[in-house]
Amino acid sequence: MKLAIIGAGYVGLVTAACFAEMGNEVICVDADAAKVKALRKGRIPIYEPGLDDYVKRNCQEKRLFFTTELASAVQESLVIFVAVGTPQDQDGSADLSMVLQVAKDIGRHMNGYKVIVEKSTVPVGTAAQVRQVISKELKARGENLEFDVVSNPEFLKEGTALDDFMKPDRIVAGCDDVRVAELMKELYAPFVRTNHPIIIMDVVSAELTKYAANAFLATKISFINEMANICARTGADIAMVRQGIGSDPRIGNLFLFPGLGYGGSCFPKDMQALIHTAQSRGYTPRLLAAAEAVNLDQRAIFIDTILKYYKDELKGRVFALWGLSFKPQTDDIREAPALTLISRLLEMGVRLKAYDPQAIPATRQYLGENRAISFTATGYEALEGAEALLIATEWTKFREPDFDRMKSLMKTPVIFDGRNIYNPAKMAKLGFTYFHIGQKVEG
């Protein structure tokens, strides 16, 4: 099929590259001319393992094209995916201005039957708004062209997005017409040859499914963090509790790791948007609000642990920080717990030496010039002269470091582990003062 993807951000770029990889002809549109120029040269603006290979290969084989010309992309394509940003507005709702602008542009330029697919994460009712905007533009042109609007939410995880797209556990498509449902099944059939389902539902249910999925996973993270905080006050071992409940197939081990809470571009924004959707319709979602509150508290609890150990005397201390991205295998720092730690600790007069395998450029840009924080080429370099190590992201390279080398570099062998990646008994045996999430609170 001929496809257009509007928006060359994270979701749009992965979607375009994967559809092209499966043999479709894909035109990816973005308003940023500099980004489009870079993409044509094979330069990827984000870090996602394997994505650069997909983009380069499909550009070379003339299946993937990048352009700023939305009009021609719309006219040449049957299926048009809308994958522009929906940032959080001041009231917590999703800002749909870019989505609706794309809808307006499609209405101005479409030249025949089109299928417009919501790929951006959008609240319930957005498809109806998109339909109204396109219909209004067509009426202004004096045209009576047919089109369908589909909700096709993405379930990509940063760091494994290519596998998630190429080998999905399910495809959700919200369609109000049998004809377009069959077209969506045909488009996605090559991706589900292992019999994972293509779930056809109404548009409104599909829009809510994406938010429901993210809200459930975010709540699961907050639940295990709540349990860790209870363990800290009872003397129970959160690692054992996690194993005990995670072995139940009704619960499972995924997203059941205590830590500094969730971040990134999806969970925080989508939780707020879903809460706003519920409240705007007269319902107070107490569970979602509680999960959000627990998530924010996790970072404060971690900082309180540091303050307690140093008896509130942090000014002038030098700490190493491992991990800046909100999760491993990405350079995304949006809503990253590390940013909260950096902000609070710099306010208290701490000097930081930070390392991350991918997210240093993004963090530099976010923070601007600040002499109180420096960035190092390796994790070990960050440890030189440090009075403590703070771990904010569970990159695999942090899991089995040379502990003897770490002790020799650090001024004092103290670790505050915000991701529980080490064994407390082992760390004590090695001579480290080690704090982790869920550790027993003394006194």
What residues are labeled active site? 266
Residue (of 249, 229, 231) closest to 240 by Cα position: 231
| C-alpha to C-alpha distance for 275 and 289, rounded to whole angstroms | 7
Beta bridge partners of 5: 28, 81
Single out the residue of 32, 22, 31, 25 nearest to residue 4, CA to CA: 25
Whole-number Å distance between alpha carbons of 306 and 417: 11
Q: Check: CB of residue 299 under 8 Å from CB of residue 370.
A: no
CA–CA separation, 237 vs 242, rounded Å? 9
Closest CA relative to residue 114, chosen from 153, 143, 142, 154? 143
The answer to whether 325 touches 392, Cβ cutoff 8 Å, is no
How far does Cα 300 stand from its chain's mean position?
22
Residues with Cβ within 8 Å of 195's Cβ and at least 6 positions away in sequence, in order, are none
CA dihedral 218, 219, 221, 227 (to 10 degrees): 170
Asked whether the CA dihedral 374, 378, 384, 386 is positive or negative, the reply is positive
Cα(105)–Cα(70) distance, rounded to whole angstroms?
8
Q: Tell which phi-psi region holds residue 42, choosing left (phi > 0), alpha (psi between -120 and 50) or beta.
A: left
Please give the Cα distance from 53 to 310 (Å, whole number): 48
User: Which residues, including other chains, have CB under 8 Å from residue 134's CB and lie 6 or more apart?
Assistant: 103, 104, 106, 107, 110, 116, 147, 149
Residue of 302, 288, 274 lying closest to 388 (CA atoms): 302
Residue 332 tokens read as 């995304």
Q: Supply φ then ψ for residue 373, to 5 degrees.
A: -130, 135
Burial class (CB in 10 A: 0-12, 13-18, 19+), 343: exposed
The Cβ of residue 263 has, within 10 Å, a number of other Cβ atoms equal to 24
Q: Specify the DSSP class assigned to residue 89.
A: P
